[in-house]
Structure 1
Amino acid sequence: MNSRQMFLDQLRAGLKGLPRSVVEDILAEYTAHFDEGRAAGRSDGEIAAALGDPGRLAREVRAETGVRRWEDERSLSNALGAIVGILGLAALDLLVVLPVLMTVGSVDLAFFIAGACICLAGSLMLPFALINMLPGFDGDWLQGLLISLGMASGGASIVAMCALFTIGTLNLLIRYGRAHYRLIAKANPS
């Protein structure tokens, strides 16, 4: 098997799981690189060496594709795709980034759950505060109403802040990945 076919096969294997159209576009682009190199009188081996490691190229493409999807549509699956792509690209920093990311994510999740519980408790208290408004019930219904509304809105605010913090953290992680990618690309000018 020649260098060209080996390179394209390794690149295709590294891109497995991406949409078929994306894979075909990328393979067509690298096939064009080989065609242009042959037209310039270079061998397939020289072209493959100049293009670099197909596994590394596939990781870079996966990271960039995940980031583009996240920027186009902010959803949980796109966020996970961006995180997986960036962590795959930053494999050497995994021992440093992952513990920090797990700690921040755990604290964010804890606040999210606490906010949801507070919101739920306030919402469940609201009917009981309204029942105290009925004639024959003694109690300060206005105080109960305000406490339940305050808990529901406070819990909803905590949940909203956690969502904003999660989006901000994800954007920071994407910026880190892009900066890391630029450093890798400068350090390995293959």
Structure 2
Amino acid sequence: MATVLGILGGMLIGSSNLLDRALTPFLDFFRAVPPPALVPALGLLLGPTLLSSVTIVVLAIVWPILLNTVTGIRTIPAVRKEMARTLGLTPVERLTKVIFPSLGPNIMTGLRISVSMSLIVTLVTDIIGTGRGLGRLLVDQQQFFESASVWGLLVVIGAFGYLINVLFGLFETAIFSRWPEGARPVG
């Protein structure tokens, strides 16, 4: 959900000078707020349900995707846009053959940041909320001074984070294996 909202919102904002000027102060504000800091405020507004926890995670991790997409739209070379017009590409062809390939590295950068951040925000949401997941279990075990359980849970959380990053790396490699050599992101 965060990916779709971030990409569509970023494309809309980046494509419109009026929206860009109107929303830049708002975007700059949320760029400066650490996503885990949003969790308590959003939790108070939305309440302690599973739906609110999912909403909190989506709202907290959408920003890197949105901001990187806005930056990507702003930095598409004018010559690419003009080339698409000159060739008479339809709007759908412009989107699929010029815009999305140009945005690929920016979107992937936002996704990489959001993937890592999602585990943190999910754990914070679980710890603060009424969840029954690993975050709540970690706090419960810590309160009962069950150090072996706490360390075991930290290993599970770390392994899960590592697995998520490995899977995302494989996804990223599969996506960019078809990209032209000079257009591939570094790293």
If the TM-score is normalised by the length of the shorter chain, which range does it land in? Answer: under 0.3
Provide the TM-score with structure 1 as the length reference.
0.27
| Higher Cα Rg, which structure | 1
Between 1 and 2, higher relative CO (CA 8 Å, sep ≥ 6) is seen in 2
